[in-house]
């Protein structure tokens, strides 16, 4: 069973732990190095909506938002842990407070101004003390299945780009059309 890590929890600190030095057999207390993995994620359902006034767009946008929140709330199912020495995936579950310090998620669901396609932009940031990677194929399958159903053959587009520290620029991009849409009287789905 996975330990519950609160998503969007601020100021969490990993506990110190003790290890034995093989050469001296003396105990040392240390923290593993804190790492930050950050992704700018775009999920496009490839569904075109020429009219925002209809209820179908709002329903599909809410569904896409719910699917993304579900992924982030269950992120342990979509992360692969990597052995630090071999670089190979490990089978053991390392989703715990010792390894995962914080998960931050910001996203926006919108209709593209040119293509009129429903899509989501997200910034996903994980502060951790282990090596990990996102399982993009698993995320892609989960989104497609929950948006279109198991038997549907339609595809979605998922793009995940890692970034170092360009969060403000990415926030600006995510929020680029919100003010304009609000002025026109459209509802805009947002989560911070």
What pLDDT sits at residue 181? 57
What pLDDT sits at residue 41? 96
Q: What's the whole-number mean pLDDT along residues 16-21?
A: 33
At 29-60, the pLDDT tens digits run 566 888 889 999 999 999 999 877 678 899 99
Question: What does the domain layout of the chain look like in residue ranges?
Answer: 33-191
What pLDDT sits at residue 93? 85
Range in 9-18, 31-40, 74-83, 96-105 with the lowest mean pLDDT: 9-18
The percentage of the chain sitting over the pLDDT mark of 70, rounded to a whole number, equals: 68
Rounded to the nearest integer, the mean pLDDT of the chain is 79
What pLDDT sits at residue 43? 97
What pLDDT sits at residue 8? 47
Say if residue 126's pLDDT is above 70. Answer: yes
CATH 1.10.10 assigned to domain 33-191? The reply is no
At 130-185, the pLDDT tens digits run 999 999 999 999 999 999 999 998 999 999 998 876 455 556 566 666 665 566 55
Question: How many CB atoms neighbour CB 29 within 10 A?
Answer: 8
* Contact (Cβ atoms closer than 8 angstroms) between residue 182 and residue 118: no
């Amino acid at each position: 069973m996975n330990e519950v890590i609160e998503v969007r929890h601020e100021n969490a600190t990993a506990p110190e732990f003790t290890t034995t030095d093989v050469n001296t057999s003396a105990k040392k207390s240390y923290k593993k190095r804190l790492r930050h993995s950050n992704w700018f994620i775009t999920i496009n359902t490839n569904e075109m909506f020429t009219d925002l006034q209809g209820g179908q767009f709002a329903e599909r946008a809410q569904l896409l938002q719910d699917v993304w929140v579900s992924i982030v709330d269950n992120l342990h199912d979509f992360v692969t842990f990597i052995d630090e020495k071999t670089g190979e995936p490990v089978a053991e579950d390392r989703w715990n407070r010792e390894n995962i310090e914080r998960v931050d998620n910001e996203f926006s669901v919108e209709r593209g101004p040119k293509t009129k396609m429903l899509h989501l932009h997200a910034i996903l940031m994980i502060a951790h003390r282990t090596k990990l990677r996102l399982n993009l194929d698993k995320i892609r399958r989960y989104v497609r299945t929950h948006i279109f159903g198991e038997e549907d053959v339609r595809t979605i587009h998922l793009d995940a780009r890692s970034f170092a520290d360009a969060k403000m620029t990415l926030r600006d991009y995510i929020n680029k059309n919100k003010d304009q849409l609000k002025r026109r009287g459209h509802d805009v789905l947002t989560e911070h």
